[in-house]
Amino acid sequence: MSDSRSEHFDYLTDPASLADWLGACEPAAPLALDTEFERQRTYFAQLCLVQIACAERIALLDTLALDDLEPLAGILADPARRKLLHAARQDLEVLHFAGVAIAAPLVDTQIAAALAGFDEQIGYAELVQRVLGITLDKSQTRTNWRQRPLSALQMHYAADDVRHLAALDTALGERLAALGRTAWLTEECRELSAPALLDPPVEDAWQRVKGLAAVDGAGFARGVALARWRERRARERDLPRGWVLKDAEILALAGAGPCSRAELAAVLTDNPAFVRKHADTVLELMRVGLADDDPARGAQPGGPPSVADRQRAKACAARVRARAAELGIGASLLLTRRDIERLVAGQVPSRAAAGWRAPLLADVVDEFGSP
């Protein structure tokens, strides 16, 4: 069935072996997943390995050798099969671009842990240690997953990343059931595979530029246009965004609004090659900016917050922290800082208006939801 065999896992390199392995999975057993990938020099991550556990069996899928992941896509699309991941966001994104979608029910054990009172960003190894009392070797965290052949240490490390997910799911599920929060987990995980989350539209690329929302008026419009252009070019050339134009450079250009090559060069003094290559395009973006009806204009906060707004946001954050402490969960799991800023500006975040958070935050929304 497999190309090589160890005591603890199968190593699969061809579609037939993969199909055979998946076909032998128990129909009712959850499927635990993880991925290893590289993206330091590219926009799109290169999927290097997929780890799968089903009952007591583990397989490592060498996706650099496999030219067909259809068998995997088929079983992950099964709505009767429970899928388990930890910190699933990047794994789902990488699989999405590899043509593999994961249908609900899907459980992210990091989210389950957060709802059960653990740190929101708790890592897999720490969670395994705290919940199951098992210490994992994490020496290969920054290893090169493109190298072939993989070492025995790399493969055992990869196998361990799915070995304990089912046990975590069971233990955390029992805790959440006792707390009456099982439905919270279902709701939180339901949207993880939404296309807009896995592949955000280019029009929203400005939201990735930290600090841009605080830039006023015309500067904000210039920054949005630059961020969108950078996103398109990074995708077309399969380059990291920062290799096209750094966030700090977008902010500098947005604020300065250069109108000539000389002015552009004066802003990007450390990037003369970019100026030579893209001056005409960037200057046109500076000139045109955004249309009056562009949706991004409505998404921008209305200028820097006033002293009164900052005080209200501080008071609101204190209320949210107190409510989270009552529940034994992290405050940002209820509302993030950005959510709070929107709330005190009169824009009630959707996560506060519906779902499991709504009854818990109703009094907070009533008090702080009107500017």
Tokens of 277: 């290559």
Q: Percent of the chain, pLDDT > 90?
A: 80
| CATH for the stretch 4-198 | 3.30.420.10
Tokens of 337: 């800082």
What is the identity of the amino acid at 44? F
pLDDT of 62 above 80: yes
- Tell me what the pLDDT averaged over the chain comes to: 92
Q: Which run of H or E residues covers position 47?
A: strand 46-54
| CATH for the stretch 202-299 | 1.10.150.80
pLDDT of 301 above 80: no
- Does residue 71 have a cis bond before it (omega within 30 degrees)? no
Return the pLDDT at 300: 62
Tokens of 124: 């897999």
How many residues are given for the chain?
Answer: 371
pLDDT of 330 above 90: yes
Q: What is the residue whose two structure tokens read 């072996």?
A: 17
Of 95, 110, 326, 338, nearest to 213 by C-alpha is 338
The torsion angles phi and psi of 238, rounded to 5 degrees, stand at 55, 55
Span 156-205, pLDDT tens digits:
999 999 999 999 999 999 999 999 999 999 999 998 988 888 888 999 99
Task: Report yes or no: 32 and 54 within 8 Å, Cβ to Cβ.
Answer: yes
Instruction: Assign 3 a pLDDT band (cuts: 50, 70, 90).
Output: very low
Q: What is the DSSP letter of 194?
A: -
Instruction: Assign 289 a pLDDT band (cuts: 50, 70, 90).
Output: confident
pLDDT of 318 above 60: yes
pLDDT of 285 above 80: yes
Return the pLDDT at 7: 54
Q: Average pLDDT for residues 212-236, to the nearest whole number?
A: 92
The gap between the terminal CA atoms of the chain, to the nearest Å, is 64
| Rounded Cα gap, residues 52 and 247, in angstroms | 37
State the number of CA atoms in the 13 A half-sphere of 174 facing the CB. Answer: 6
Beta bridge partners of 84: 32, 107
pLDDT of 295 above 80: no
Of 71, 89, 90, nearest to 31 by C-alpha is 71
Return the pLDDT at 274: 96
Return the pLDDT at 277: 96
